[in-house]
Amino acid sequence: MHYDTILKNGTFITMNAHGDRAQWAGIKDGKIAAVGTGQPTARDAEKTIDLAGAVVLPGLMDAHVHLTPTGHFLDGVSLLDAKRIGEALHLLKERRAKTPAGEWVFGVGFMSQNMEEGRFPNRLELDEVSKEHPIMVSAQTLHGVALNSAALALVKVPDVAGVGRFDDGTLDGTLLSDDAAFPCMSGIMASLPEARMRALIERCCVYAAEKGVTTMSGLVGQFVDEDKDVDLVLKHSASFPVNINVFYQTWELEKVKRLNLPRIGGCLTLDGAGFEYTMALGEPYPQRPERRGFLIHTDEEIYTLISAAHRENIQCALHALGDRAIDQLLYVFLQVIGEQGRKDLRHRIEHFSLPTDKHMDLAVDLGLVLSMQPAFSGLWGQPDGGYYELLLGRERADRMECFDEIVKRGGIVCGGSDSPVSLIDPLYGLACCINNPDPRRNVSVTEAIKIFTRNTAYAMHLEAEKGSIEVGKDADLTVIDRNPYDLADSPEIYDMKVLMTMKGGTITYE
């Protein structure tokens, strides 16, 4: 056979049903045309790539990426390392000095838990940075923002919980609930010129390819007013270096049907986020005993959407982090499936961060896909200290992101980043499943790779095309510098690097 490309002298971890390894693969017309051991006998290829012993995985996937916010994060001023409000303001002033008056200054990755003051900067503090530039500081979780006076003048702040005020009743610029932050953030993002919005999405995709990603669930609609990014992504998706499965974040099923999309949601939030104390818990937060988060929607609202979508054979994906929100969503799925019967729709729970044993068993019984973010526990789930313990206490911190327990029960976990909450990096996520700071979360190397390949392909209804290196499947491949099976017990597993990314036989990163 004449191949377009032959890759040889590699270690191919095929992830097929038999767990086979290979040493070479032939690609033709964007598909895997041959997989074998030894040296390829065919010499008639347009191009031959000698991998020199590198490891080849099925193209890595990310099951949960906020496209426009990730590009926005990569374009903004990172405040992740700031420890005091003053440090954050200094970083913003540096960007302001390079920004023409009237243009936006965006601070990203802010975590109040990192701050000595334990809070967001207020409007007056941000006005010290500039009164001529609108400024928005967004939380690392995206579930909160802070605005200066110039920014507040450009948005309509809703009269809801989470809107901060000074003692005299005037707005202090902090919007720390979903109902407050999301509308303002989406209005700001929608005000950007289309060319800049497309550039942000392109930047997200280029970054993903650099991290070895070939396919991702691209979440659009929620963080851009009037859903301007939805049409943009659908129109230009073929030009991006990563395959994008569009997840339209809307509660209006007719919008999804008009676009002939087979799925709805992504991060349709049923509760908030832990660091803003809005993740819905059964018991209060230890440091905020007056708070246990919010359920944002009624059971009836959730039932109305899922029941209608299930009837129309449309997959649903909704965000539920805390045990109260997980409980609410699971019982709606149980009711809908009980009334209408099982279908192979692979409804998803996004995050599923703090489930009980009963929740895990019920999710498995219902055939739900659990779209989780292993990087979260790597960043925040240390067995002693760490943010999870600070937020929830030790007992609940130990129940967060319990991958091993879910896998043992037969659950299907697909891996994502929730980028920009944690930036796209499936190798880091994979390492967090194998050599987690808390060993109770560890799964086998094979299961970890499945989480970012086969399981994620299954979650997107793409298992016939992607997720393993087999003849007839898409030539989506990720080449890395070392074998995760050799590093399972070593911290060096966190040092794995991407050498090359290939989408449909075309190199998108090298």
CA distance 61 to 430: 11
Alpha helices in 280-383 (DSSP H): 299-311, 323-340, 357-365, 374-380
Radius of gyration of the chain (CA): 23
**Residue 290's pLDDT is what?**
96
| Residue of 421, 348, 322 whose CA lies nearest to 380 | 421
| Residue of 191, 193, 252 whose CA lies nearest to 223 | 191
CA distance 453 to 128: 47
Q: Which CATH class is domain 69-190?
A: alpha beta
Strand 498-503 relative to strand 506-509, pairing: antiparallel
- Cβ-proximal residues to 379 (8 Å cutoff; 6+ apart), any chain: 387, 422
**Residue 42's pLDDT is what?**
67
DSSP of 80-110, one letter per residue? TT--SHHHHHHHHHHHHTTS-TTS-EEEEEE
Per DSSP, what are the bridge partners of residue 317?
Answer: 265, 348
CA distance 458 to 393: 35
**Residue 192's pLDDT is what?**
83
CA distance 202 to 206: 6
CA distance 142 to 104: 17
pLDDT digits (tens, 9 = 90+) for 225-280: 788 899 999 999 999 999 999 999 999 999 999 999 999 999 899 999 998 899 99
Secondary structure class of 297 (helix, strand, coil): coil
- Cβ-proximal residues to 436 (8 Å cutoff; 6+ apart), any chain: 374, 377, 378, 381, 442
Cα atoms in the Cβ-side hemisphere of radius 13 Å centred on 51: 28
**Residue 330's pLDDT is what?**
98
| Cβ-contact 295, 325 below 8 angstroms | yes
Secondary structure class of 388 (helix, strand, coil): helix
Provide CATH 2.30.40.10 ranges for the chain.
3-53
Q: What is the CATH number of domain 3-53?
A: 2.30.40.10
Positions of the chain with pLDDT lower than 70, given as ranges: 42
Question: What angle do the packed helices 178-190 and 67-75 form, to 10 degrees?
Answer: 80
Q: What is each CA distance from 59 to 49, 131, 174, 197, 503, in whole angstroms?
A: 17, 47, 41, 27, 8
- Identity at 397, one-letter amino acid code: A
pLDDT digits (tens, 9 = 90+) for 423-449: 999 999 999 999 999 999 999 999 999
Provide CATH 3.10.310.70 ranges for the chain.
69-190
CA distance 272 to 351: 11
| Cβ-contact 68, 200 below 8 angstroms | yes
